Structure 1
Amino acid sequence: MTLRAVIYARYSSDLQSASSIEDQIRLCRERAARAGWQIVGSYEDAATSGASLMRPGIQRLQQDARACRFDIVISEALDRLSRNQADIAALYQNLTFAGVAIETLAEGRIDEMHIGLKGTMNALFLKDLAAKTRRGLRGRVEAGKSGGGNAFGYTVLRSLTEDGEIRRGDREINPDEAAILRRIFQSYADGLSPNRIADLLNQEGIPGPRGRAWDKSTIHGNPKRGTGVLNNELYVGRLVWNRQSFVKDPSTGKRQARPNPESEWIITEVPELRIIDQELWDRVKTRQEGRKIEQTDKEAWERRKPRFLLTGLVKCGCCGGGFSTVGKDRFGCSNSRNKGKSICTNRTGITRQELEGRILSILSEQLMDPDLVKIFVAEYIAERNRLAASHVDDRAVKQKELAKVIRDQDVLVNALLAGTPPERIRAKMEQLEARQKQLEQDLAAAPTPTTTRLHPRIAETYHDRIQALIAGLSEPEAEGEAREAIRGLIDKIVVTPVPGLGKRMLPQVELHGSLAAILGLSLAVDQACGQQKTSCEQEVEESVGFLVAGACNHRDQHSLEVFV
């Protein structure tokens, strides 16, 4: 049987050009042609580091491997797949479990020895490269040049040296942006808040760093870490480098900043880059020091206040941003208050008590009335039937492939009986036996068609359980568990201002949730009766959602839309 092969190619933006992808694919195709393999696809990651598996191409490759869509992966070298020792070991284990082999042009067929030795070599390469890069950056910083990136207020200069090399790290003051910086510093020193400064800049259409809208955090930043416009010492002619280092979180692949001791900072005087005079800088620092106690008290209050039941779930219906605390017990749009009305005009607030009351009312009184139950049941059955049909199709494909694998094994057995040397067919027979075992396991684990049913007490069960959860919110021992259970029913809550009496705007609340969690409560009676949910039912619950729109007044006007 001809092996189904796929190609994986990657290049790093700092080391290679885009044409490297085409070169890698061409060489891998030539290797497949010599081996007689059938190319069924390719996966690419352009301008992406090999230090992490958080790449779209390699993620799709792993998903398709689990779906048994190919038998072997071809790549130029093992370091194209990953340079991280733990990642390459995990990738090898995942592909091996799926019955997929790895073949590289540089190392040949990959086994455990390659993973151990080559993985270690790649990890050491990354560590050595990081050390050399850091050493080079330090030399540039000590010479007064940029250590990477650029700050608002400056223009990067690039020129050619006498030997044709690009001279990097030089920059000069950008007059237009420097004028904006002086305005920000002067406004803050005169008493304006970062929030108000950002609002004024956005109203005038003045672009912020990287062309984005101004935000109060962009201006005030973090004085301790030197972030934000008001804390950048480069504006007074001091280049400070190595304030913090970055460590990659192995669980997410994302970098996290960690402050370095002040003794490790590299500070270089660059008076030609000064934008803010010393007197104005000192006035700003004095005001920041005067506000430090007030800020500390606010942060202490934030830590002491009880956790909001709907924290992180409330969104603005106008701009899509989050709702945050705008008073001790009141919430409003973060973008409107941090970036100004030019970014979002939603100034309508809502108290915690009112919002919680509306949401709990929708959950307990509106979701499972008879009309809504009919919609739930119809959508549930339709989606379940669709997924069941797809499982049947997949099962038929695997059964057909299993029959072919068995036939191919019979052909090899007949060849053996006819006198073919065993060593000539041993590898092929082992491959067919492994594939047969995998297919049989997949078919045994696949869901079998069952009759669609929903228990007639679905609404009654839901009401009993949601009332118990709401009651648990007032019981100290059960409050934590009840809160998490209720939050699990909700994807997001959207608050949109709508006209009320006179010119007053009232908040309209929309509840977006997951039908999976609703049915998880409602179908508990099935499990209590010994009827366990099938894997197909679980897939249905994960793929169907709902939305409930609550009216802005206190009348019982609610609508529901079910969507897949």
Structure 2
Amino acid sequence: MTRAALYARYSSDAQNAASIADQFRLCREQAEREGWSVVETYQDAALSGASVTLRPGVQALLQDALAGRFDVVLAEALDRVSRDQADVATLFKHLRFAGVEIVTLAEGAICELHVGLKGTMNALFLKDLAAKTHRGLRGRVEQGKSGGGLCYGYDVVKDLDGAGAPIRGGRSINAAEAEIVRRVFRDFAAGVSPRAIAQHLNAEGIPGPAGKLWIDTTLRGHARRGTGLINNELYIGRLVWNRLRYMKDPASGKRVSRLNPPEQWIVKEVPDLRIVEDDLWQAVKERQAVLAITYAPAIKAGHAERLHRTHRPRALLSGLIFCGSCGGRYVLRGQNRYGCANHIMNGSCPNSRTIARGVLEERVMAGLRDRLMAPEVAATAMRAYVEESNRLKREGRAMAGADRRALVQVDRRIAEIVAVMEAGGYSRALMARLQTLEAEQADLKRRLESTTEELPDTLPTLAGLYRRKVERLAEALQHPEERAAATQAIRDIVGRITLTPGPKRGQIDATLHGDLGTILDWAAEKRQELAETRALKHQTDTSLLGVSVSVVAGAGFEPATFRL
């Protein structure tokens, strides 16, 4: 029997969540007419059809298609899968490689002709829709109304026209928020930094835009692009629209902004929405000009350009360090030191301790070599690994035995129904029951085929192998041509580093966590076995290599006291 997977999507522009159920209902009816067995469903809710790259439903569908879980994908129409011509073609090629066919209720079986013609039509539809939306928003702005979004300091005004239709884009001043806006402008003009302003507002419990915490970039923004609170010209009664345009990055599928030429901007005076007086606005602009002159030498030397236009090389431990006080990330700041991002950006965390990048990296390497796989730690970890592995093996054998017994019963029932039908006892009820049993039979066979009888055994010399490899990694970090590979290897075996303020002034205690399964595999160089075990993990929802525990270096990993 043909195994079918259903896919449905609704976007946030003109549909609602009920659309998913409607699409699945229609597809199930079609599958029943075709005699197909529906084995899986995939969906993406409130996500645009312009890009398939970031949609989790499509990504899961592709992974399962490559795993051979179904034979055909059934959807309501090709534009439900994607409206992007390149994405449709790429998805079509991947599914064809997996031996999976795409069928839609609107177009039938999809072939190269559909991919070309429908992809082109959908691309033109998106372009036409964007032009119509842009035209409608411009008309709204020409009337002095908002083109979209809600700025801090304003409320949405809901009005109806003579026909009872909603009039969109109306705004009114929120008195409480307007006072905060004026306060920010006054503080900045007086010389207070955006970071200090944000920290003061958070300390007083004043909610920021959308109820979130204030951060310095929310206030500072980008002067040329008109972003940030102190650059918003609506506060002086001037509505500026079409300053930016947005394009999709073909590499990531994300939208990125581009600055439009000034002659394309639409500027309307809206004096009833003014919050900040001209003299205060000018004082802020003058201070921004002074700051620009102050940092001009660094910009001229290319420092800012290198910072903003290129990606900094990722540090050895970036993204792996977390604050023990608030749970937020530690980030690399000036002077090559790590600090709590929440404390730095908005003052919501009391942890002011910082640590030099070189010192932390040195301690981490020492912890990997001397603490994480110290004899007593290694013995405990190995014992836990063996116990957990044995438990999972017993459970796997028991489950496999139950599946084999269930398969015998299903085979017997299928044979009985087939015998009745061959004797002339055909009925729709018998056929439906047969289809259900065959689907259950296929599922049991897949589970039995994916069962791994034995998990990889640990090596008695694993701790020694681990120590020697860490030492070689430490040496490789000193050589530019080997640093990239060594960095990735270290990041693979370090799961998380937690930094917590110690009782003494300037002290930072660090705890290093590493996933035992990854460490054991890395040390023993069993890459193929790891890949097979990861596939088993995906199917049975167990931990990597059957181990759900982490190896923790302990509080003693960072005994030194770091002074600011």
- Class of the TM-score when normalised by the shorter of the 2 chains: 0.7 to 0.9
Determine helix, strand or coil for the equivalent of 1:328: helix
CA contact (8 A) 2:363 2:558 kept: no
Deviations 1:38-83 (A, max 9, x none): 4445433333222222334333433443444444333221111211
Q: Residues 274, 194 of structure 1: CA spacing in aligned structure 2 closer, same or farther, 3 A cutoff?
A: same
The total of aligned residue pairs comes to 516
Determine helix, strand or coil for the equivalent of 1:151: coil
Structure 2's unaligned 5+ residue stretches are: 423-441, 538-543
TM-score by length of structure 2 reads: 0.79
Determine helix, strand or coil for the equivalent of 2:498: strand
1:45-60 matches, cutoff 5 A:
45-53=44-52, 54-60=54-60
Equivalent AA in structure 2 for residue 355 of structure 1:
L
Q: Residues 261, 443 of structure 1: CA spacing in aligned structure 2 closer, same or farther, 3 A cutoff?
A: farther
2:359 maps to 1:358: no
Tell me the residue number matched to 2:327.
320
Deviates more, 1:137-146 or 1:373-382: 373-382
* Alpha-carbon offset, residue 319 of structure 1: 1.7
| Candidates 307, 327, 346, aligned match of 1:339 | 346
Q: Take 2:190 and 2:219, find their aligned partners in 1: how far apart are those partners?
A: 15
Deviates more, 1:7-16 or 1:461-470: 7-16
Deviations 1:356-395 (A, max 9, x none): 2321210121122222223443455566667878998799
* Alpha-carbon offset, residue 274 of structure 1: 1.5
Equivalent AA in structure 1 for residue 262 of structure 2:
E
* Alpha-carbon offset, residue 325 of structure 1: 4.4
Tell me the residue number matched to 1:284.
284
Deviates more, 1:149-158 or 1:107-116: 107-116
Structure 1's unaligned 5+ residue stretches are: 416-435, 557-564
Tell me the residue number matched to 2:430.
none
| Candidates 455, 478, 493, aligned match of 2:497 | 493
TM-score by length of structure 1 reads: 0.79
Deviations 1:134-183 (A, max 9, x none): 22222322332211111111112221111232111121221111111001
Tell me the residue number matched to 1:28.
27
Deviates more, 1:300-309 or 1:49-58: 300-309
Deviations 1:105-130 (A, max 9, x none): 21122223222221221111112111
Tell me the residue number matched to 1:205.
205
Aligned-CA RMSD value: 3.9
Deviations 1:307-360 (A, max 9, x none): 7543333221122222234552433212112212xx211112223343223212
Q: Residues 257, 396 of structure 1: CA spacing in aligned structure 2 closer, same or farther, 3 A cutoff?
A: farther
CA contact (8 A) 2:244 2:260 kept: yes
* Alpha-carbon offset, residue 279 of structure 1: 0.6
Determine helix, strand or coil for the equivalent of 1:191: coil
**Overall identity of the aligned pairs, in %:** 47
Q: Residues 111, 232 of structure 1: CA spacing in aligned structure 2 closer, same or farther, 3 A cutoff?
A: same
Q: Take 2:491 and 2:56, find their aligned partners in 1: how far apart are those partners?
A: 30
Q: Residues 517, 114 of structure 1: CA spacing in aligned structure 2 closer, same or farther, 3 A cutoff?
A: same
* Alpha-carbon offset, residue 189 of structure 1: 0.9
Determine helix, strand or coil for the equivalent of 1:321: coil
Q: Take 1:255 and 1:534, find their aligned partners in 2: how far apart are those partners?
A: 34
Q: Take 2:534 and 2:86, find their aligned partners in 1: how far apart are those partners?
A: 35
CA contact (8 A) 2:400 2:448 kept: no
Q: Residues 236, 26 of structure 1: CA spacing in aligned structure 2 closer, same or farther, 3 A cutoff?
A: same
Deviations 1:209-251 (A, max 9, x none): 0011111111111222211101111111222222222222334
Deviations 1:263-318 (A, max 9, x none): 33222222222211111011111111212244453993895999754333322112
Q: Take 2:23 and 2:70, find their aligned partners in 1: how far apart are those partners?
A: 19
Equivalent AA in structure 2 for residue 536 of structure 1:
T
2:536 maps to 1:535: no
Tell me the residue number matched to 2:225.
225
CA contact (8 A) 2:8 2:44 kept: yes
Q: Residues 440, 140 of structure 1: CA spacing in aligned structure 2 closer, same or farther, 3 A cutoff?
A: same
Tell me the residue number matched to 2:303.
300
Q: Take 2:226 and 2:131, find their aligned partners in 1: how far apart are those partners?
A: 24
Determine helix, strand or coil for the equivalent of 2:235: helix
Q: Residues 338, 181 of structure 1: CA spacing in aligned structure 2 closer, same or farther, 3 A cutoff?
A: same
Q: Residues 449, 27 of structure 1: CA spacing in aligned structure 2 closer, same or farther, 3 A cutoff?
A: closer
